[in-house]
Every structure is written in C-alpha cells, then in structure tokens.
Amino acid sequence: MVAFYGSEVGSRLLLGTARYPSPAVLEEAVRRSGTEIITVSLRRETAGGRVDSTFFDMIRALGVRVLPNTAGCHSVSEAVLTANMARELLSTDWIKLEVIGHHDTLQPDVFALVEAARVLCADGFKVFPYTTDDLVVAERLVEAGCEVLMPWCAPIGSAMGPVNLMALKSMRAHFPDIPLIVDAGIGRPSHAATVMEIGYDAVLLNTAVAGAGDPALMAEAFAQAIEAGRNAFLAGPLEPRDMAVPSTPVIGKAVFA
Ligand SMILES: CC(=O)[C@@H](O)[C@H](O)COP(=O)(O)O
C-alpha cells in the first residue's frame, strides 16, 4: 500500500489515458495494469469548449480514481483555471500540475509551477506537481504545500528512461518522508523497475503503454516490473563493487595438494 494525501492505494502504477489506439484498448490496458489511479488531461478532453461525456462516462465506469492534469498549460493562470475546471467537472481536489516551459523538451517552467502550486494548495487542492529533479525547486514545492513530488526521469514521451539516476537518488535521500512518483520519460518496464529499486514510491507513465504494439500486455508487464522493483528495494539490494568477491567460500574446504 502507498498513500497519497492520506488516500491508500494498492497499485504503484499510475496510468495516463492519452494516445491509445481506441477507447477499448485504453479500457483493457487500465484493467490489465491493475492501476487504481489514471490521469486525464482536462484541456484535451474539453477542447473547443466541448465536454466529451462518452469519454468521461467510460473513465467513470473503470472504477478507478481520476487524477486530472493540466497538460498543455503554459502559464500560472492557465493551470489554475484548468485545475478549477477539473475540480468542478470531476468532483476531486486532486490535480496533477503541469506548467510547460520549454517547447522542445516539454520541461516544466519550474518558476510558474511553484507559483501555481502555491495558489492551488492555498485554495485546498491536493497538488501532484510534475517537476524536474532539481532539489531546490522540490523544496519550494513542499514549502508551497505539496505533499507529493513527481520528478521527471526524461522528457515526456521520449521513452529514454532515467537519464540522471544520481539526481533521482539524491531526491529520494533528501525527501525520505514525501511520496515520490517518477513521472514522464519511462520507456520500458526495466526503467520502471530501476526507479522502484532505488526507493521511489510509484511510477506514472503513458506513452510507453499507449504506444506499445500491444498496450494491454505492456500495461501488465509494467505492473509486474513495478512490483518486482518495489520488492527488490524492500529486500535490500547489494551496492555494486569495484572488485570481484568470490561467491563460493573457500575457507573450510578440503585442499588437494
Ligand atoms: C499523461 C501525462 O500526464 C504525461 O504528461 C506524463 O508526464 C507521462 O509521460 P510519458 O508519456 O513519457 O510516460
């Protein structure tokens, strides 16, 4: 079990809902992943001022918790407005806060992110901020009222996996009591297992499942990898060593001269 803002969930996989080949494939992927939290882009699903009730009905029928997100927002005001629409439409005070600052890398605008987090936390939102692996920004987000942090491991949709594992490790060490969810850039189940092995609490991903040849099977593979990574963390993995260490002890064995 892991808890976010006091709500316990069994699955440590959070799944995005964009870019699936069809709603049926999305539905099957969600079921096979065992996820209990899916994230939905408010801007995409309400584009042109139209609310796609079919999509939201399907999402509700999945029986999982919805974490609306502010994907596509580039300013504090856009993100705050989108969060308020999400709260009204989906009756939740949870919000995955994205404020994009860079066109090519989709890197968060961390200054606007902190400001938007401050506004939303003060207004009673439970903010899940999509951030970089910068410790100072993370401190500011916690000061703003965030009780969860979501550092990227690589640019959104890149499938690169953890490009700076040292930074992710250092974030884990600096925030031992804050739930940490790696968000964005995961490409393969082994990437997810890697971040879980270093003690991350959960993984949020979208493209790696939605874009796979068989999304439902990939969703299941991710669920298994995340569980394996978590178990490995709890089991206490060995640290790599520079030198060989014989795995077969020689002391006490018969010596043949
Ligand atoms: C769906 C969503 O919220 C994305 O913005 C998220 O950051 C996932 O990134 P990937 O698509 O790289 O998994």
Q: What is the pLDDT of residues 126-182, one digit of tens each?
A: 999 999 999 999 999 999 999 999 999 999 999 999 999 999 999 999 999 999 999
95, 104 contact by CB (below 8 A): no
Residue 207's nearest CA partner among 7, 2, 6, 20 is: 20
The predicted structure's pLDDT at residue 12: 98
3-state SS of the chain? CEEECCEEECCCEEEECCCCCCHHHHHHHHHHHCCCEEEEEHHHHCHHHCCCHHHHHHHHHCCCEEEEECCCCCCHHHHHHHHHHHHHHHCCCEEEECCECCCCCCCECHHHHHHHHHHHHHCCCEEEEEECCCHHHHHHHHHHCCCCEEECCCCCCCCCCCCCHHHHHHHHHHCCCCCEEEECCCCCHHHHHHHHHCCCCEEEECHHHHCCCCHHHHHHHHHHHHHHHHHHHHHCCCCCCCCCCCCCCCCCCCCCC
Q: What are phi and psi of 86, to 5 degrees?
A: -65, -40
- pLDDT at residue number 44: 72
Angle at which helix 110-122 crosses helix 76-90, to 10 degrees, equals 40
Output Rg (C-alpha) for the chain, integer angstroms.
20
Q: What is the pTM of this model?
A: 0.93
pLDDT of residue 79: 97
> Distance between CA 198 and CA 235 in Å, rounded?
11
Region of 48 please: left (phi>0), alpha (psi -120 to 50) or beta: left
CA 191 to ligand 1 centroid distance, Å: 14
Residue 211 near residue 178, CB atoms below 8 Å: no
Q: Is the CB of 207 inside a 6 Å radius of any atom of ligand 1? A: yes
Q: What are phi and psi of 16, to 5 degrees?
A: -80, 165
Per-residue confidence (pLDDT) for residue 43, from 0 to 100: 74
Question: Would you state the structure tokens that stand for residue 190, as one six-digit string?
Answer: 């082994």
Active site residues: 96
pLDDT of residue 146: 98
* Cβ 220 under 6 angstroms from ligand 1: no
Pocket-testing residue among 153, 156, 158, 160, ligand 1, by greatest number of atoms within 8 A of Cβ:
156
For the CA of 17, the closest atom of ligand 1 is 1
Q: Rounded to whole angstroms, how far apart are CA atoms 201 and 1?
A: 10
Q: Which residues of the chain have pLDDT under 70?
A: 45, 47-49, 257
- The answer to whether 206 is annotated as binding is yes
Torsional class of 7: left (φ above 0), alpha (ψ -120 to 50), beta (otherwise): beta
The residue whose CB lies within 8 Å of the most ligand 1 atoms, and thus the one to mutate among 183, 188, 195, 203, is 183
Q: Which residue has the tokens 């002391």?
A: 251
C-alpha 241 – ligand 1 centre gap (Å): 35
pLDDT of residue 49: 67
What phi and psi values does residue 8 have, to the nearest 5 degrees?
-85, 140
